[in-house]
Amino acid sequence: MRPADLTRRKQAGLPITVLTAWDALSAAVVAGAGVDAVLVGDSLAMAVLGHATTLPVTLEEMLHHCRAAGRGLAAAAPNGSPLLICDLPFLTYQCGLEEALAAAGRVLKETPAVAVKLEGAEPETLAVIDRMVRSGIPVMGHLGLTPQSVHQLGYRRQAGDPVSQERLRRRALALQEAGCFALVLEHIPAELATELSLRLAIPVIGIGAGDGCDGQVRVTADLLGLTSRQPPFSPPLVDGRAIAGEALGRWVREQRAPAAPPAAPPTRPASPAAPHC
Protein backbone atom coordinates (compact mmCIF):
# COMPACT_ATOMS: atom_id res chain seq x y z
CA MET A 1 0.00 0.00 0.00
CA ARG A 2 1.10 3.54 -0.81
CA PRO A 3 -0.55 6.78 0.36
CA ALA A 4 -2.12 7.17 -3.10
CA ASP A 5 -3.88 3.81 -2.63
CA LEU A 6 -5.88 5.36 0.23
CA THR A 7 -7.01 8.14 -2.12
CA ARG A 8 -7.99 5.53 -4.69
CA ARG A 9 -10.07 3.76 -2.05
CA LYS A 10 -11.83 7.03 -1.24
CA GLN A 11 -12.48 7.72 -4.93
CA ALA A 12 -13.88 4.22 -5.35
CA GLY A 13 -16.13 4.67 -2.32
CA LEU A 14 -14.34 1.88 -0.42
CA PRO A 15 -14.03 2.32 3.34
CA ILE A 16 -10.50 2.67 4.74
CA THR A 17 -9.46 0.83 7.90
CA VAL A 18 -6.50 1.82 10.06
CA LEU A 19 -5.36 0.20 13.30
CA THR A 20 -2.45 1.02 15.57
CA ALA A 21 0.37 -1.39 16.33
CA TRP A 22 3.23 -1.08 18.76
CA ASP A 23 5.44 -4.09 18.05
CA ALA A 24 5.91 -7.11 15.78
CA LEU A 25 3.23 -9.15 17.54
CA SER A 26 0.48 -6.52 17.36
CA ALA A 27 1.45 -5.56 13.78
CA ALA A 28 1.16 -9.19 12.66
CA VAL A 29 -2.26 -9.47 14.31
CA VAL A 30 -3.67 -6.30 12.71
CA ALA A 31 -2.14 -7.17 9.33
CA GLY A 32 -3.82 -10.56 9.61
CA ALA A 33 -7.12 -8.75 10.13
CA GLY A 34 -6.65 -7.19 6.68
CA VAL A 35 -6.35 -3.47 7.52
CA ASP A 36 -5.36 -0.96 4.84
CA ALA A 37 -2.91 0.92 7.05
CA VAL A 38 -1.08 0.43 10.33
CA LEU A 39 -0.25 3.40 12.51
CA VAL A 40 2.53 3.28 15.08
CA GLY A 41 0.78 6.01 17.04
CA ASP A 42 2.27 7.97 19.90
CA SER A 43 -0.70 6.55 21.84
CA LEU A 44 1.79 3.76 22.56
CA ALA A 45 3.07 6.12 25.28
CA MET A 46 -0.18 5.57 27.19
CA ALA A 47 -1.42 2.20 25.87
CA VAL A 48 1.88 0.35 26.15
CA LEU A 49 4.57 2.36 27.94
CA GLY A 50 2.42 3.34 30.93
CA HIS A 51 2.69 7.13 30.60
CA ALA A 52 -0.20 9.39 31.64
CA THR A 53 -0.11 11.33 28.34
CA THR A 54 1.48 10.96 24.90
CA LEU A 55 3.98 13.74 25.62
CA PRO A 56 6.91 11.75 27.09
CA VAL A 57 7.43 9.30 24.21
CA THR A 58 10.68 10.03 22.37
CA LEU A 59 11.63 9.82 18.72
CA GLU A 60 14.07 7.01 19.58
CA GLU A 61 11.23 5.03 21.18
CA MET A 62 8.95 5.61 18.19
CA LEU A 63 11.71 4.45 15.82
CA HIS A 64 12.33 1.36 17.95
CA HIS A 65 8.63 0.40 18.03
CA CYS A 66 8.13 1.23 14.35
CA ARG A 67 11.02 -1.04 13.33
CA ALA A 68 9.47 -3.84 15.38
CA ALA A 69 6.03 -3.25 13.83
CA GLY A 70 7.64 -3.29 10.38
CA ARG A 71 9.21 -6.68 11.09
CA GLY A 72 5.82 -8.00 12.16
CA LEU A 73 4.20 -6.74 8.95
CA ALA A 74 6.93 -8.23 6.78
CA ALA A 75 6.48 -11.62 8.44
CA ALA A 76 2.67 -11.52 8.36
CA ALA A 77 2.17 -10.14 4.85
CA PRO A 78 5.38 -10.68 2.86
CA ASN A 79 3.64 -10.07 -0.50
CA GLY A 80 2.07 -6.71 0.21
CA SER A 81 1.89 -5.06 3.58
CA PRO A 82 -0.57 -2.45 4.75
CA LEU A 83 0.67 1.15 4.62
CA LEU A 84 2.90 1.76 7.65
CA ILE A 85 2.63 5.24 9.19
CA CYS A 86 4.56 6.52 12.22
CA ASP A 87 3.56 9.38 14.51
CA LEU A 88 6.06 12.16 15.07
CA PRO A 89 6.16 12.69 18.85
CA PHE A 90 5.67 15.94 20.72
CA LEU A 91 8.37 18.58 20.11
CA THR A 92 10.05 16.75 17.25
CA TYR A 93 8.34 18.94 14.63
CA GLN A 94 7.51 22.12 16.56
CA CYS A 95 11.07 23.44 17.01
CA GLY A 96 11.94 24.56 13.51
CA LEU A 97 11.87 23.36 9.95
CA GLU A 98 15.26 21.68 9.89
CA GLU A 99 14.68 19.70 13.07
CA ALA A 100 11.22 18.62 11.88
CA LEU A 101 12.56 17.51 8.51
CA ALA A 102 15.38 15.60 10.20
CA ALA A 103 12.92 13.82 12.53
CA ALA A 104 10.60 12.81 9.68
CA GLY A 105 13.62 11.82 7.59
CA ARG A 106 14.83 9.49 10.35
CA VAL A 107 11.43 7.75 10.35
CA LEU A 108 11.66 7.05 6.62
CA LYS A 109 15.38 6.19 6.63
CA GLU A 110 15.53 4.06 9.78
CA THR A 111 12.17 2.26 9.76
CA PRO A 112 9.94 0.65 7.10
CA ALA A 113 7.30 3.41 7.59
CA VAL A 114 6.42 5.26 4.40
CA ALA A 115 4.65 8.22 5.99
CA VAL A 116 4.53 10.30 9.16
CA LYS A 117 1.57 11.74 11.06
CA LEU A 118 1.62 14.97 13.02
CA GLU A 119 -0.96 17.05 14.88
CA GLY A 120 -2.38 20.54 14.34
CA ALA A 121 -2.41 23.15 11.60
CA GLU A 122 -0.69 26.20 13.05
CA PRO A 123 1.13 28.31 10.42
CA GLU A 124 4.47 26.82 11.58
CA THR A 125 3.06 23.29 11.28
CA LEU A 126 1.75 24.02 7.77
CA ALA A 127 5.22 25.27 6.78
CA VAL A 128 6.77 22.07 8.18
CA ILE A 129 4.29 19.88 6.27
CA ASP A 130 4.95 21.78 3.05
CA ARG A 131 8.70 21.30 3.52
CA MET A 132 8.33 17.58 4.26
CA VAL A 133 6.03 16.95 1.32
CA ARG A 134 8.35 18.81 -1.05
CA SER A 135 11.18 16.61 0.27
CA GLY A 136 9.27 13.44 -0.61
CA ILE A 137 7.87 12.62 2.83
CA PRO A 138 4.14 11.76 2.84
CA VAL A 139 2.35 13.42 5.77
CA MET A 140 -0.96 12.56 7.43
CA GLY A 141 -2.63 15.38 9.38
CA HIS A 142 -4.57 15.13 12.65
CA LEU A 143 -7.17 17.63 13.92
CA GLY A 144 -9.91 17.78 16.57
CA LEU A 145 -8.81 16.16 19.81
CA THR A 146 -5.04 16.33 19.45
CA PRO A 147 -3.56 14.53 22.48
CA GLN A 148 -0.21 16.35 22.23
CA SER A 149 -2.16 19.52 23.23
CA VAL A 150 -3.81 17.84 26.23
CA HIS A 151 -2.71 20.61 28.60
CA GLN A 152 -4.57 23.17 26.46
CA LEU A 153 -7.54 21.14 25.17
CA GLY A 154 -7.94 18.24 27.59
CA TYR A 155 -9.45 15.04 26.19
CA ARG A 156 -12.80 16.76 25.52
CA ARG A 157 -14.78 16.63 22.30
CA GLN A 158 -13.65 19.47 20.03
CA ALA A 159 -15.42 21.84 17.61
CA GLY A 160 -18.67 21.93 19.54
CA ASP A 161 -19.64 25.52 18.61
CA PRO A 162 -19.98 27.28 15.22
CA VAL A 163 -16.85 29.39 15.67
CA SER A 164 -14.56 26.44 16.42
CA GLN A 165 -16.28 24.42 13.68
CA GLU A 166 -15.45 27.10 11.14
CA ARG A 167 -11.88 27.18 12.44
CA LEU A 168 -11.59 23.41 12.03
CA ARG A 169 -12.95 23.64 8.46
CA ARG A 170 -10.27 26.22 7.58
CA ARG A 171 -7.54 24.15 9.20
CA ALA A 172 -8.61 20.97 7.40
CA LEU A 173 -8.54 22.74 4.04
CA ALA A 174 -5.14 24.26 4.90
CA LEU A 175 -3.72 20.80 5.66
CA GLN A 176 -4.94 19.51 2.32
CA GLU A 177 -3.46 22.59 0.64
CA ALA A 178 -0.13 22.00 2.43
CA GLY A 179 0.03 18.54 0.88
CA CYS A 180 -1.25 16.08 3.51
CA PHE A 181 -2.30 12.81 1.85
CA ALA A 182 -4.94 12.06 4.50
CA LEU A 183 -6.43 13.60 7.63
CA VAL A 184 -7.38 12.07 10.99
CA LEU A 185 -10.33 13.77 12.72
CA GLU A 186 -10.62 12.79 16.38
CA HIS A 187 -13.61 13.30 18.69
CA ILE A 188 -15.54 15.96 16.79
CA PRO A 189 -19.24 16.17 15.84
CA ALA A 190 -20.21 13.54 13.26
CA GLU A 191 -21.96 16.09 10.99
CA LEU A 192 -18.78 18.15 10.68
CA ALA A 193 -16.63 15.08 9.98
CA THR A 194 -19.09 13.92 7.30
CA GLU A 195 -19.15 17.38 5.73
CA LEU A 196 -15.33 17.48 5.59
CA SER A 197 -15.15 13.95 4.15
CA LEU A 198 -17.36 15.10 1.29
CA ARG A 199 -15.56 18.41 0.85
CA LEU A 200 -11.94 17.26 0.94
CA ALA A 201 -10.29 15.31 -1.88
CA ILE A 202 -7.96 13.56 0.57
CA PRO A 203 -9.28 10.68 2.72
CA VAL A 204 -10.70 11.66 6.11
CA ILE A 205 -10.14 8.99 8.74
CA GLY A 206 -12.28 9.34 11.85
CA ILE A 207 -12.11 8.24 15.45
CA GLY A 208 -14.99 9.38 17.60
CA ALA A 209 -16.19 11.37 14.56
CA GLY A 210 -19.19 9.33 13.40
CA ASP A 211 -19.72 6.90 10.56
CA GLY A 212 -19.65 9.39 7.69
CA CYS A 213 -15.86 9.52 7.26
CA ASP A 214 -13.94 7.88 4.42
CA GLY A 215 -12.37 5.52 6.93
CA GLN A 216 -11.93 4.74 10.59
CA VAL A 217 -8.87 4.44 12.81
CA ARG A 218 -8.78 2.82 16.24
CA VAL A 219 -6.16 2.24 18.89
CA THR A 220 -5.88 -1.56 18.86
CA ALA A 221 -5.44 -1.78 22.63
CA ASP A 222 -8.76 0.11 23.01
CA LEU A 223 -10.62 -2.20 20.62
CA LEU A 224 -9.25 -5.27 22.38
CA GLY A 225 -10.20 -3.93 25.82
CA LEU A 226 -6.60 -4.02 26.98
CA THR A 227 -6.20 -0.41 28.02
CA SER A 228 -6.86 0.87 31.52
CA ARG A 229 -8.09 4.25 30.17
CA GLN A 230 -10.84 3.47 27.65
CA PRO A 231 -11.84 6.58 25.66
CA PRO A 232 -15.65 6.95 25.76
CA PHE A 233 -15.77 7.38 21.97
CA SER A 234 -13.86 4.16 21.26
CA PRO A 235 -15.59 1.26 23.01
CA PRO A 236 -13.94 -2.18 23.21
CA LEU A 237 -14.98 -5.11 21.02
CA VAL A 238 -13.97 -7.61 23.69
CA ASP A 239 -12.92 -7.46 27.32
CA GLY A 240 -9.34 -8.45 26.52
CA ARG A 241 -8.06 -7.79 30.03
CA ALA A 242 -10.63 -10.15 31.53
CA ILE A 243 -10.11 -12.82 28.85
CA ALA A 244 -6.31 -12.73 29.14
CA GLY A 245 -6.44 -12.49 32.95
CA GLU A 246 -8.78 -15.47 33.18
CA ALA A 247 -6.68 -17.65 30.83
CA LEU A 248 -3.40 -16.78 32.53
CA GLY A 249 -4.94 -17.17 35.98
CA ARG A 250 -6.16 -20.65 35.00
CA TRP A 251 -2.60 -21.55 33.94
CA VAL A 252 -1.19 -20.29 37.24
CA ARG A 253 -3.80 -22.27 39.21
CA GLU A 254 -3.00 -25.39 37.18
CA GLN A 255 0.70 -25.05 37.97
CA ARG A 256 -0.06 -24.69 41.67
CA ALA A 257 -2.57 -27.52 41.87
CA PRO A 258 -1.38 -30.49 44.00
CA ALA A 259 0.37 -32.98 41.76
CA ALA A 260 -1.94 -35.82 40.69
CA PRO A 261 -0.86 -39.28 41.95
CA PRO A 262 1.39 -40.98 39.41
CA ALA A 263 -0.53 -43.17 37.01
CA ALA A 264 -0.07 -46.95 37.48
CA PRO A 265 2.21 -48.43 34.80
CA PRO A 266 0.23 -50.10 32.04
CA THR A 267 -0.08 -53.87 32.55
CA ARG A 268 0.64 -56.00 29.54
CA PRO A 269 -1.55 -59.12 29.22
CA ALA A 270 0.50 -62.34 29.25
CA SER A 271 0.76 -63.78 25.79
CA PRO A 272 0.74 -67.56 25.43
CA ALA A 273 2.84 -67.10 22.32
CA ALA A 274 5.56 -65.23 24.20
CA PRO A 275 8.88 -67.00 23.81
CA HIS A 276 10.48 -68.35 27.04
CA CYS A 277 14.13 -67.52 27.27
Q: Which residues are near ligand KIV by CB under 6 A?
A: 20, 39, 41-43, 87, 142, 184, 186, 207, 217, 219
C-alpha–C-alpha distance, residues 237 and 239, integer Å: 7
Q: 24-32 vs 59-76: helix axis angle to the nearest 10?
A: 50
Q: How far is the CB of 177 from ligand KIV (least distance, A)?
A: 22
Cβ neighbour number for residue 249 with a 10 Å cutoff: 10
Q: Which is nearer to ligand KIV, 128 or 185 (CB)?
A: 185
Closest approach, Cβ 231 to ligand KIV, in A, equals 8
Residue 19 or 80 with smaller CB distance to ligand KIV: 19
DSSP 8-state assignment for residue 141 = E
Which amino acid makes up residue 17? T
Burial of 58 (0-12, 13-18, 19+ CB in 10 A): middle
CB nearer ligand KIV, residue 86 or residue 137: 86
What distance in Å separates the CA atoms of residue 212 and residue 195, rounded to the nearest whole number?
8
Instruction: Give the shortest CB-228-to-ligand KIV separation in angstroms.
Output: 16
Among the listed residues 60, 177, 186, 254, the single catalytic one is: 186
Min dist. Cβ of residue 100 to ligand KIV (A): 17
Q: Among residues 47, 136, 54, 52, which one has the least CA distance to residue 91? A: 54
Residue 221 in contact with residue 227, Cβ under 8 Å? yes
* Nearest one of 108, 138, 127, 145 to 202, comparing CA atoms: 138
> Which residue's beta carbon is nearest to the bound ligand KIV?
41
Largest CA distance in the chain: 102
Question: Closest approach of Cβ 117 to ligand KIV, in Å?
Answer: 6
186 catalytic per annotation = yes
Q: Closest Cα to residue 107, out of 44, 47, 61?
A: 61
The residue type found at 37 is A
* C-alpha closest to that of 41 among 117, 152, 129, 136: 117
Compute the least distance from the CB of residue 246 to ligand KIV, in Å.
27
Closest CA to 86 of 118, 54, 58, 109: 118
The catalytic residue positions are 186
